[in-house]
Amino acid sequence: MGDSFVLARPGQPVWVGKNCEGAPAQAQVVELAAAAEHEADEVLRVGSQRLAQVPRTHALALSRAADAWGCEMGVNEHGLAVLGEAVFTRLPVAREDEGGLSGPALQRLALERCRSADDALALIIELLARFAQRGWAAGAGGLGHAAFLLADPEGAWLLESAGELWAAARVRGRRALSGALTIDDDFDKIHPGALAFARARGWCRSGADFGFARCFGDPRRSFWVGAAQRRRRSTRGLIAASPGGARAEELAALLRDHAGAPPGAGLRMPSICAHRAGHTSWLPTRSSSQTCASMLATLPRGGAPRVWMTGTSSPCLSVFKPLCFAPSPAWREVLGSEGESAEGLWWAHEAFHRAVLADWDARAQVGAAARDALEARAFAHVDAPLDDAACLAMWREHRAALPSWRAEAEARPVSAGGSRLGDGARSLRRYWLGRTR
């Protein structure tokens, strides 16, 4: 799941952002895939499904689970951004042995094959009709169908699904998504059989009381993940964004939002920046997931997209760094196998993150000044993107700083009051031992 948004104001560049959520030890990989030409008879295998390959796949910058082919969020060289979420619905999710395509697979196919949000909308709808829809990801328990924000320099769509059924709404100004269906009767397009399906099951009487989210959403599970609360916070942040043109800094701050409380507050997950932490952390609603990667991008007309990713969990303790669409081989040193290796960026940051969680109040500011300075440099080039070497240098700088930040955090004694993480640092260590490869 997670929290996604798109800001598409008339006459201004389109902005998108997302926090991806996953299991607390679900590493994310940042992947820079080059454009590629393919043979006419080439076949793409996605899980148990076989699809005819297209003549050319586009260059991508994406974030994905380390053990999965698809993507959680990404942007291609033409300025198409696709951000997806698992959403709880009343309809069953296809089992893995039944085949089908997952939400992350649908996202990557759209990014590889499409140039615009309209094209991506048409492709995903076509694939939903051809293939069963699998659960979002094994790391999230395989639960949930998919919803997508599809954006390009000209505008954006929200596409929500329940099995093969779907509804789509054109984004008018802004839209936020937080793990629950949101389109009711405000759709611009809808599956031709959606109303009849809902009526046959007694979920509505006629078109007059039909709403896609109202009929197909699962309000109980959506409530327990705090979907409506988080979506409201995202929407308020988008409304408050600078009227003359959103700034990267304020949208990054939105992705770091803790709902005005410590990371562990509340029985549900109330904050956009999610942590497995706090005195309620043993409850399933607070221990099953955390923010595991973040992305921010702007899609200007007539120019190349600008993309920043953290490549880590906990954006509040991390840095949004720029990415390039024509990367040099040197990027493999930084991005190569971080999902598999304790030496990679994701796991190096996660060690720092977990050290901070042992006493949030005492340790959260460790490295903050250096992070702020690095990110200020990254966001200083929104109008003129950095070259490959400058982008790569920022990723290396962040990676190099993490061991010292972790050491400084661990050197600060855990206070008696502190952030009250269960029984303290010892209980937190026991929890992580069962969730680290």
Q: What is the pLDDT of residues 296-338, one digit of tens each?
A: 999 999 889 999 999 999 999 999 999 998 888 888 888 865 4
Q: What is the pLDDT of residue 423?
A: 39
User: 161 by DSSP, 3-state: which?
Assistant: strand
Question: For 134-226, where are the alpha helices, taking DSSP H only?
Answer: 194-200, 212-216, 219-224
Q: What is the pLDDT of residues 123-161, one digit of tens each?
A: 999 999 999 898 776 444 456 899 999 999 999 999 999
Instruction: Report which of 186, 230, 193, 261 is spatially closest to residue 87, judged by C-alpha positions.
Output: 230
Which residue carries 């031992």 as its tokens? 433
Domain boundaries, the chain: 2-326
- Class of domain 2-326 (CATH, top level): alpha beta
Instruction: Report which of 389, 312, 326 is spatially closest to residue 29, judged by C-alpha positions.
Output: 312
* Sign of CA pseudo-dihedral 378, 384, 389, 391: positive
Question: pTM of the full predicted structure?
Answer: 0.92
Q: Which residues contact 118 (CB under 8 A, 6 or more apart)?
A: 157
CA gap 166, 197 in Å, rounded? 12
Q: What is the pLDDT of residue 260?
A: 82
Which structure tokens are listed for 311?
């490549």
pLDDT mean over 156-176: 97
Q: Which residues contact 137 (CB under 8 A, 6 or more apart)?
A: 22, 65, 68, 86, 102, 103, 104
- For residue 434, the tally of other CB atoms under 10 A from its CB is 8
Q: Which residues contact 411 (CB under 8 A, 6 or more apart)?
A: none
Instruction: Report which of 346, 351, 405 is spatially closest to residue 374, judged by C-alpha positions.
Output: 405
